Copies of this chain bind each other. A is one copy, B any other.
Amino acid sequence: MLTELSPLTRKLSAFVALSDADVATLTRFDLRRRSFTPGHQMIHEGQSGSSAFVLAKGWAFSYKLLPDGERQIVGFHLPGDFLGLRSVLFRTSDHSIEAITRIEASEVLTSDILKSFAQAPRLATAVLWAASRDEAMVVEHLVNLGCRSAEERVAHCLLELGARLAHLELGDRTGYDCPLTQYHLADALGLSAVHVNRVLRHLREERLVTFQKGRVCFENFRRLTELAQFDEAYLDQDGPLLR
């Protein structure tokens, strides 16, 4: 059965045991299927009245631009992720989201979300949980920038993506396909692209990871995890709180 559920349903089920009615409501989130080409701006900072999306296939990233042109990538988004929830709750979006690969996603209207909360309180809890999990990822990202060296940051980022993809069965401990450029990594990690390149070379020379031609290969998962002080606790919370 699980294979027939949408990625979002699967994700939320990990938190609360959803009733059939809840699942039905969620299923309604999955109509209005759309697809986007690489580079498409799905959500614009400052835009009001934008809707949210549930990512079904492909990679995206959310970011903020500063007046001086600097770009900070806040996070990368993978299938199952809820995109632009904040843009809907606040009426005007405080960040932008861009497609990296070709993307398939379901558009979710503000009214869908608010109505479903009124009808299905368990679902509201589940969405709050999912939002909290996203916040936990941003927090870990913050720790990454605040406490770690360039090398540790790159390692941590590659490991986090690996762990998230593994949950989706899109990768394993040997590696995964990764459509990011070194510029993406640089803007996510607060480094220059030139330095990201050097760091990747060093990690390769140390036989820890390689990231070439769209593929990340873990050469020494153990040592890499130690180097990055990577602890995936923040990614998979232990089972349903609400039964």
Whether the Cβ atoms of B66 and A229 lie closer than 8 Å is yes
Q: What are the residues of chain B within 8 A of A135 when measuring CB–CB?
A: 86, 131, 134-135, 138
A92 contacts which chain B residues (CB < 8 A)? 238
The answer to whether A121 has its CB under 8 Å from any CB of chain B is yes
Bitwise, A71-98 to B at CB < 8 A (1) or not (0) is 1101000000000011001111011000
With beta carbons under 8 angstroms apart, the residue of B72, B122, B132 that contacts A85 is B132
| Docked-complex contact A66 and B132, CB < 8 angstroms | no
Q: Are A242 and B114 in contact (CB under 8 A)?
A: yes
**Are the CB atoms of A146 and B89 closer together than 8 Å?**
no
Q: Which B residue sits closest to A64, measured CB to CB?
A: B143
Tell me the A135-188 residues at the B interface (CB within 8 Å).
135-136, 138-139, 141-143, 145-147, 187-188
Minimum distance in angstroms from A202 CB to a CB of chain B: 20
Q: Is A2 an interface residue (CB 8 A)?
A: no
Residue contact B139 to A64, C-beta cutoff 8 Å: yes
The yes or no answer to A237 lying at the interface (CB within 8 A) is: yes
User: Interface readout for A87-130 with B: 1 if CB under 8 Å, 0 if not?
Assistant: 00111101100000000000000100010011101101101110
Contact present for B234 and A132 (CB under 8 Å): no
The smallest beta-carbon distance between A129 and chain B, in angstroms, is 5
Q: Is the CB of B121 within 8 A of A125?
A: no
CA distance A9 to B96 in the complex (A): 30
Min CB distance A228 to B, Å, is 10
**A66 interface neighbour in B136, B147, B241, Cβ under 8 Å:** B147
Residues in B whose Cβ lies below 8 Å from that of A131: 128, 131-132, 135
Contact of A86 among B85, B122, B136, B146 (CB under 8 A): B136
The CA-CA distance from A132 to B92 in the complex, in Å, is: 13
A94 to B136, CA, bound (A): 8
Chain B residue numbers with a CB within 8 Å of A145 are: 142, 145-146, 190
Given contacts A132-B89, A241-B89, contact A72 B143 (CB under 8 A): yes
Instruction: Identify 7 residue pairs between A and B in the complex whose beta-carbon atoms are under 8 Å apart, listed by A's number.
Output: A70-B147, A71-B147, A89-B128, A90-B237, A91-B237, A114-B241, A127-B128
